[in-house]
Amino acid sequence: MEVKIAQNAGFCFGVKRAMKMAWDELENKGENDTYSLGPLIHNKQAVDKYKEKGLIEKEDLENIPSNSKLIIRSHGVGEKVYTESKSKDMEIVDTTCPFVKKIHDIVKDFSDRGYEIIIIGNSAHPEIIGINGWCNNNAIIINKVEEIDSITFNPTKAYCVVSQTTANLESFNNIVEKLKEKINNLTVKNTICFATKERQLSAIDLAKEVDCMVVIGGKHSSNTQKLVTICSKVVPTFSIETKEELKKEIFENFKVAGVTAGASTPDWIIDEVIEYLKEI
């Protein structure tokens, strides 16, 4: 079977960088215990591999002993985590994606200058919780344009709006337009990262060239399932988490298979699937 791989399949730049930094740290960790606050990414196979290598996962800082090493995940944390971990003499390995770090800097800067901060995104997402932690957790968080009517804005204040990196551009623009009707002094910072969009566009391009598509990634991963949906509109598409789910018989009528993967799928899982398909 001929196998073609989509450009931008799997980890984006920020996650790839973070996972490599964490792995390098575990390879050279010596005697010190190394912790992460929550799972490094939402991929069980990858998380298990890092745990086997010695990474210890904790949900909050209180449960991490002083003097240990703390890996900060790619979607970043609030300012308090840095100050508290320093006060516990922890060594920080900061794998925050540079695009997310840039949002922290903007929020800190504008907040220090007296601006009110508005974040467009999902308030429960760790990236948003982290960003909010750079303006004393005082940001107004808006997920949908309809929410704006129930918010009271202070006409004497200046506001700065940023977005979650994975926000949808159309939704961001709609919210900003509506905010402009309500706020006179509004600074807009479009902080959307286009890694997700690029992954989707590459998947569509590849789907047009092949007989079927295999999309690798979590069944509950929204970005993976979005890839499945858009590829299914072009060719028969199979959604799998690992190569074990593949059956040779389903590929009997296909000569060329395309492969793409969601944002949390490590390269080694993609490689295993490619090798399996090539052997058919």
Catalytic residues: 127
- Residue 117 CB burial class (10 angstroms; 0-12, 13-18, ≥19): buried
Residue 222 CB, nearest distance to ligand SF4 (Å)?
13
Strand partners, 215: 239, 260
DSSP state of 90: P
Between 126 and 236, CB nearer to ligand SF4: 126
DSSP 8-class letter at 264 = T
Between 132 and 166, CB nearer to ligand SF4: 166
Beta bridge partners of 141: 119
Which stretches of the chain bind ligand SF4, using CB under 6 A? Answer: 12-15, 74, 97, 99-100, 165-166, 193, 195
3-state SS, residue 140? strand
| For ligand SF4, the closer CB: 116 or 127 | 127
Taking CB positions, which residue lies at the least distance from ligand SF4?
14
Nearer Cβ to ligand SF4, position 183 or 195? 195
Least distance between ligand SF4 and beta carbon 99 (Å): 4
Residues linked to residue 261 through DSSP beta bridges, in sequence order: 216
151, burial (CB in 10 Å: exposed 0-12, middle 13-18, buried 19+):
exposed
Q: How many residues does the chain have?
A: 280
Task: Give least dist CB 68 to ligand SF4, A.
Answer: 25
CB of 165 to ligand SF4, least distance (A): 4
Q: DSSP secondary structure string, 135-179? A: TTT--EEESSGGGGGGPPP-TTS-EEEEE-TT--HHHHHHHHHHH
* Residue with Cβ nearer ligand SF4 (141 or 195): 195
Contact 261, 215 (CB under 8 A): yes
Contact between residue 141 and residue 170 where contact means Cβ atoms under 8 Å apart: no
Considering the complex, state which of residue 120 and residue 195 has its C-beta at the smaller distance from ligand SF4.
195
Positive or negative, the CA dihedral 83, 29, 34, 32 is negative
- Starting at the edge strand that comes first in sequence, how are the strands of the sheet with 69-72 ordered? 55-58, 34-37, 69-72, 91-94
* Least distance between ligand SF4 and beta carbon 221 (Å): 13
Inter-residue contact 124 to 143 (CB < 8 Å): no
Beta carbon of residue 147, minimum distance to ligand SF4 (angstroms, whole number):
23
Q: Which residues pair with residue 4 across a beta bridge?
A: 258
